[in-house]
Amino acid sequence: MEEPEGVIKDMDPRLRNLDFAFNPRSIAFVGATESMRKWGFLILNNLLTGGYRGEVYPVNPGRDTVLGLKAYPRVSDIPGHVDLAIFTVPSRQVMEALRDCAEKGVKAALVITAGFKELGEEGARAEAHMVRLAREAGMVLIGPNCQGICCPANDLYPWMPILFHPPRGRIGYVSQSGNILNMLIGHAVTAGLGVSKAVSSGNEADLRTVDYYTYLGEDADTEVIVSYIEGLQDGRDFVSRAREVTRRKPIVVLKGGRTTSGVSAARSHTGAMAVSEDLFEAACRQAGVVVTRSIEECGITAAAFVNRPLPRGRRVGIVTGGGGLGVIASDFCTEIGLEVVPLSSRTLEKLEKMLPDWWVPGNPVDLVAGLDFSVIKPVIETLMTSGEVDAVMFLWIGAPRLKNARLKGERGMDLSGVWQSMDQYFLEHIGELYELMHQLQVPLYIATSLRMEDGGDPDGCPPLVFDSVESACRAVSAMAEYYRFREVMS
């Protein structure tokens, strides 16, 4: 039998079987149904409407077909080979079907079904049985009590959120909460980026967060890993293995359960074992993992790493299309430990020649004039080549686009075409700025209310454009911190 395209080397050989989960040639769906409120319908339907092109075998002893596909009473009745088995049947029915899978040689199980460890001792025992069986069969088991996985490159979306088909991209996601997974992905996707692979890891009965790190660490499609964590089962293992990954690519983490009440909420959510916040942060520092404090910060910071060089220090040059934005950015940078450094007189003189007479020399560089890239580009280039800053921010935010924007009066000129031509002008020139960034290897962070298109082409996709000054500042700081870790490690 031919194996699906593998990308993993030098790891626990069983982990390689995650290839069968993310790139399956065929799927058995245990619990497939047409009852529209059941997860066995919603997830199967997402898989089918998501465009997956492999074989799908619904397993349901009570039906001949499900959603137009021939159904089978048991996994063992399926005539063809099965790479991935998905479970949405009630927890007491999982074991028997899993045994069938083991006999059939299925290599990956996605157990979405809840009702295991999180419900107490009996559930924990059932969960342990399940894991033992999977491991003996050399099968990887995702979940239980999770919302599914996705791999856009293979049009694979066997997960809960309806019509949520993020495009292909370079960010890998591991989350101990399905909702938060969706929100994290949302922040990247609405900013124009996409997903390599995502997994809602649930109770982590078999595979743990750090196993997915190892797998995604070897995955050529994944440039950065994002992760929501409520609890760790083995802190030492986490540190040493995460560190192996962060030597090569960044991991950005959001930790749930930082406070007593958060820990108590986490206990009833996934039954996660609490980790003291201080210990966790120390472990992350040791492992070179970037720690964030909110869902948005986590999602955006991770996306910032894609296709952008790292700042080699904490000195920032700010170019702004509005004086107030420069003030806010200076404050925020300083508050998170970045340095809005004074520029040398040599650099200021160069800038002075490009800017109007009434320009007040300094950093931030307030452009004073309008959106004119014949000025903006040399200004940014001057900062990048000065050797005086490690990162450049370009801030151009103003009024948002209102859904109900329209001409209200019968007087005046219709300027509604202006937005489109501004977008076009901006998009044309933003590409040149990013070229400059790659050429000079000084990272550029653009914050603007002009919106990029939805992503979809991970190779051609330009780096993230930020929609707030604060999130851009945080990204600079996180990336500079990661650069320092890499330097220390090398």
Residues 387-426 that bind a copy of itself (CB under 8 A): 397-409, 411-416, 418-419
Mapping DSSP to helix (H, G, I), strand (E, B) and coil, where does residue 413 land? coil
Asked if 348 interacts with a copy of itself (CB under 8 A), we say no
Asked if 456 interacts with a copy of itself (CB under 8 A), we say yes
Span 226-265, contacts to a copy of itself by CB under 8 A: 228, 230, 254, 256-262, 264-265
Smallest distance, a copy of itself to C-beta of residue 96, A: 22
Identity (one letter) of the amino acid at 398? G
Identity (one letter) of the amino acid at 277? E
* Nearest to a copy of itself of 162, 489 (CB atom): 162
Asked if 54 interacts with a copy of itself (CB under 8 A), we say no
* Nearest to a copy of itself of 102, 263 (CB atom): 263
* Nearest to a copy of itself of 65, 441 (CB atom): 65
* Nearest to a copy of itself of 76, 264 (CB atom): 264
Among 115, 309, 313, 378, binds a copy of itself (CB under 8 A): 115
What tokens were used for 288?
Answer: 């070179």
Among 9, 61, 136, 163, binds a copy of itself (CB under 8 A): 163
Transcribe 193-257 into DSSP letters. Answer: --EEEEEE-TT-SSS-HHHHHHHHHH-TT-SEEEEEES--S-HHHHHHHHHHHHTTS-EEEEES-
Note whether 470 and 301 are within 8 A (CB).
no
Alpha-carbon distance of 108 to 141, in angstroms, equals 6
Alpha-carbon distance of 70 to 59, in angstroms, equals 9
Asked if 364 interacts with a copy of itself (CB under 8 A), we say yes
Among 134, 295, 300, 479, binds a copy of itself (CB under 8 A): 295
Span 311-330, contacts to a copy of itself by CB under 8 A: 321-330
Mapping DSSP to helix (H, G, I), strand (E, B) and coil, where does residue 446 land? strand
Asked if 23 interacts with a copy of itself (CB under 8 A), we say no
Smallest distance, a copy of itself to C-beta of residue 137, A: 29
Asked if 68 interacts with a copy of itself (CB under 8 A), we say yes
Span 175-214, contacts to a copy of itself by CB under 8 A: 175-180, 182-183, 185-186, 189-190
Question: Which region holds residue 360: left if phi is over 0, alpha if psi is between -120 and 50, else beta?
Answer: beta
Note whether 388 and 347 are within 8 A (CB).
yes
Note whether 186 and 136 are within 8 A (CB).
no
With b for 16 or more beta-carbon neighbours within 10 A and e for fewer, the 334-366 pattern comes to eeeebebbebeeebbebbeebbeeebeeebbbb
Span 127-156, contacts to a copy of itself by CB under 8 A: 155
What tokens were used for 137?
Answer: 């069969």
Sequence-distant (6+) residues with CB within 8 A of 375 are: 354, 355, 367, 369
* Nearest to a copy of itself of 236, 406 (CB atom): 406
Element spanning 120, H or E = none
Asked if 65 interacts with a copy of itself (CB under 8 A), we say no
Smallest distance, a copy of itself to C-beta of residue 17, A: 25
Among 9, 37, 248, 346, binds a copy of itself (CB under 8 A): 37
Q: What is the CA radius of gyration of the chain?
A: 25
Asked if 358 interacts with a copy of itself (CB under 8 A), we say yes
* Nearest to a copy of itself of 217, 364 (CB atom): 364
Alpha-carbon distance of 213 to 207, in angstroms, equals 10
Binding residues for a copy of itself, rule CB under 8 A, total: 105
Smallest distance, a copy of itself to C-beta of residue 248, A: 28
Smallest distance, a copy of itself to C-beta of residue 163, A: 4
* Nearest to a copy of itself of 139, 180 (CB atom): 180
Asked if 69 interacts with a copy of itself (CB under 8 A), we say yes
* Nearest to a copy of itself of 454, 487 (CB atom): 454
What tokens were used for 402?
Answer: 């209102």
